[in-house]
Structure 1
Amino acid sequence: MPSSSSVPSSSSSASPVPSPSPSSRDSVVAALRAAGCVFAEDEAELILTAARTPDEAAALVARRAAGAPLELVVGWAEFRGLRIAVEPGVFVPRRRTEFLVEQALALAPGAAVVVDLCCGSGAVGAALAAGLGPVELHAADIDPVAVRCARRNVAAAGGQVHTGDLFEALPAALRGRVDILAANVPYVPSGEIGLLPAEARDHEPLTALDGGADGLDVVRRVAEEAPRWLAPGGCVLVETGRQQAPAAVDAFERGGLTTRLAVSEEGYAHVVTGVRP
């Protein structure tokens, strides 16, 4: 979950805008480099494409130079080929979480009912719907700002977004019917929040980052309650850290789920999956 997110790809479709002059592009690149942006040229292209006027471009560059995540500056993040709208106060989807989506699609390619719990921007739910085709999609988050943002991103899939604490937010009619329950829960130990990159620490909600003393408070709650919501053969998936993975697996097993750990070394991703027998 938390980590520096990648630069959005400039290949995503968007309304074209006039190309900026070379001099303005050079000045933006120089300002971003001075601010320590490693991918200054790519970021400049995205900022200048997002800006409608020179004044707006200057404002966006100033926000990025001040440390705001690029995705929040330009208003979107790329996730599994989708352009996901993001806004200030919303957790920015990480590219490594694409691995969670891949695992879910492999486990339940015929899923009809999908839940994106701790949905943030709704990126996971939107990506699952895109991969599965028509589904009954529900997303939920405790943060009203995230709920508002997620509604924008799951609207094309006909998704419903609910506000509340984990399963309390979901319609009771979903009990025993969910084929895929994806929960991109917070899992950073409370004592390590201060070690996160400033982009996450200063610009994303604490509720999307802080997983309690050992980072597994929310994971345990999901593992305990998920079986009541899953359909027979349905699966629940959470992302976790490398060191926490064994304890997360244990929590899933104690919940009566058939459990395994999937690891993407390339993507630095650890996903615990549990299937209801």
Structure 2
Amino acid sequence: MSVSPSPLTSSAIVTKLRAAGCVFAEDEAKLILSTAGTPSDLAAMVDRRVAGLPLEHVLGWAEFCGLRVAVDREVFVPRRRTEFLVRQAVTRARPGAVVVDLCCGSGAVGVALAAALGPVELYAADIDAAAVACARRNVGAVGGRVYEGDLFGALPVALRGRIEVLAANVPYVPTEEVGLLPSEAREHEPLVALDGGADGLDVLRRVAADAPRWLAPGGCLLVETSERQAPLAVEAFSGSGLSTTLAVSEELYATVVIGTRLSGLSA
């Protein structure tokens, strides 16, 4: 007769995680213990984390803006710095606004905006099928809709000229620097969510070029980028006719370019 293995203790999990290089082993152990449903689930989760799977993929969720957002394996994990983009968007929006989360990944940004603003008309889109499937769980839970496709091509044409808040967490890592990312990102997140082209701004430029046709008068586009890329990103926004400002958080090491469609700009 086989005997079930004894459940892993908290201290044993911490030891395993620390040996695997997890800097916050104690915190991660608590999260894994609180999420695992059975001893076998617990052992499997610890093994996956020790093998290098991102903690959020192990747990099946990520904390973002105080919310628990589902994150499936091979889906981009929302970063804490992107909470700054959400905060900037909230100050420029109103309850009931038409909100679009473009390059949505798990849909974390859109869900956070809906939670902060109250009822909104929420849409999200991503080119990656796994991300869309995950986002439909998150965004659908708050009454939003998710579409699969390439940027604005995925959205209903009826949204043209109606979007009041357009949040686009585009990929912005230069192609040659993708290999320098932590292994958790390189090996477990989709390349399409990371690689922004030669200078990291290929997708940003495409979004900025088309945004004026989709934004409502006074509507705004918000895109995260790096401090180094900010001048060229601002240039791309301004070149499309958007009134452009830059917001920076030293605390979160976050840079957000914000472009507003002027009332007289034709869509």
TM-score using structure 2 length = 0.94
Q: Are the aligned partners of 2:132 and 2:147 in contact in 1 as well (CA < 8 Å)?
A: yes
Partners of 1:241 and 1:171 in 2: CA distance: 30
- Superposition pairs for residues 238-253 of structure 1, below 5 Å? 238-253=223-238
Partners of 1:58 and 1:44 in 2: CA distance: 11
Deviates more, 1:109-118 or 1:236-245: 109-118
User: Deviating runs (4+, > 4 A) in structure 1?
Assistant: none
Identify unmatched segments of 5+ residues in structure 2. 1-5, 263-267
- Superposition pairs for residues 1-277 of structure 1, below 5 Å? 24-110=9-95, 112-277=97-262
What count of residue pairs does the alignment treat as equivalent? 257
The aligned counterpart of 1:6 is none
Cα offset for 1:205? 0.1
SS in 1 for 2:219: strand
Query: Once the two structures are superposed, what CA deviation does each residue of 1:158-189 show, in whole Å capped at 9, x if it has no partner?
Result: 10000000000000000000000000000000
Cα offset for 1:156? 2.4
Cα offset for 1:109? 3.2
Q: Report the CA distance shift for 1:248/1:111 in structure 2 as closer, same or farther (over 3 A).
A: farther
Partners of 1:157 and 1:230 in 2: CA distance: 22
Query: Once the two structures are superposed, what CA deviation does each residue of 1:211-246 show, in whole Å capped at 9, x if it has no partner?
Result: 000000000000000000000000000000111000
Q: Are the aligned partners of 1:111 and 1:180 in contact in 2 as well (CA < 8 Å)?
A: no
Deviates more, 1:219-228 or 1:54-63: 54-63
TM-score using structure 1 length = 0.91
Q: Are the aligned partners of 2:125 and 2:132 in contact in 1 as well (CA < 8 Å)?
A: yes
Amino acid at match of 2:211: A
Higher relative contact order (Cα pairs below 8 Å, separated by 6+ residues): 1
Cα offset for 1:60? 0.6
Cα offset for 1:131? 1.0
Q: Are the aligned partners of 2:96 and 2:121 in contact in 1 as well (CA < 8 Å)?
A: no
Q: Are the aligned partners of 1:185 and 1:238 in contact in 2 as well (CA < 8 Å)?
A: yes
* Identical-pair percentage: 70
SS in 1 for 2:21: coil
Amino acid at match of 2:191: L
The aligned counterpart of 1:12 is none
Identify unmatched segments of 5+ residues in structure 1. 1-19
CA RMSD after TM alignment:
1.2
Amino acid at match of 2:161: G
